[in-house]
Amino acid sequence: MIQRRRWGQWALGRFGLGAWGLHFSVAAAPRLATDSAPVVWPRRTALLDGEVLSAEALQGQGLLVVFWATHCAFCLRHNTKLQQVLTTMGAAAPRVLGVSLDRDATLVRRHLATHGHRFDVTLDAAPWLAALGARRVLPSTVAVNRLGQRSLPMPGEMFEEDLAELLQWSAAPAG
């Protein structure tokens, strides 16, 4: 993403990594690395608020999925930035699904209320990990656009600008 690319260029130049045959080119890299395999959505996902999200409801929709846990400080900062970007985007934002790796629904509800995170959340992580191939690093973010193309899993806390770029890519009209 934008900020990570700038840091990568700086690190390569600063530490002379190019002299060892490591080269970094933003111009040659795709704007967003994607996985060519189409997403196979989990059939049914129980959300924390009692709603059930079906695979049919996700067809043709943009979605940003964040794997996280309540004990993860990086996740808290990441999700707070995500909520700020969602608030800024308003109705133009795609759906966001938080996949909590926690087991205690009461703990997760209290965490969401305390920190003002208002996106959908599920505790049913296994089918989402299988569908999106997210890494076990927390947080881990995957964007899916309306064509069912997904970004490669992005491990770790992200900048607001990078989250906004992912959300815009997810929400872009199909075609």
Q: How many domains does the chain have?
A: 2
> Quick one: which H or E segment has residue 64?
strand 63-68
Q: Are residues 93 and 165 in the same domain?
A: yes
Task: Give the residue-averaged pLDDT of 32-53.
Answer: 88
HSE-up (13 A, CA, CB side) for residue 167: 25
Comparing 156 with 134, the larger pLDDT belongs to 156
Spatial contact of 99 and 68, defined as CB atoms under 8 Å apart: yes
8-24 confidence digits (pLDDT tens): 444 434 444 443 343 33
Q: Are residues 18 and 55 in the same domain?
A: no
Question: What's the pTM?
Answer: 0.81
Q: Are residues 133 and 50 in the same domain?
A: yes
Comparing 2 with 151, the larger pLDDT belongs to 151
Spatial contact of 164 and 156, defined as CB atoms under 8 Å apart: no
DSSP assignment of 10-23 equals: HHHHHTTGGGGT--
Query: Is residue 6 scored above 50 in pLDDT?
Result: no
Q: Are residues 37 and 22 in the same domain?
A: no
91-122 confidence digits (pLDDT tens): 999 999 999 999 999 999 999 999 999 999 99
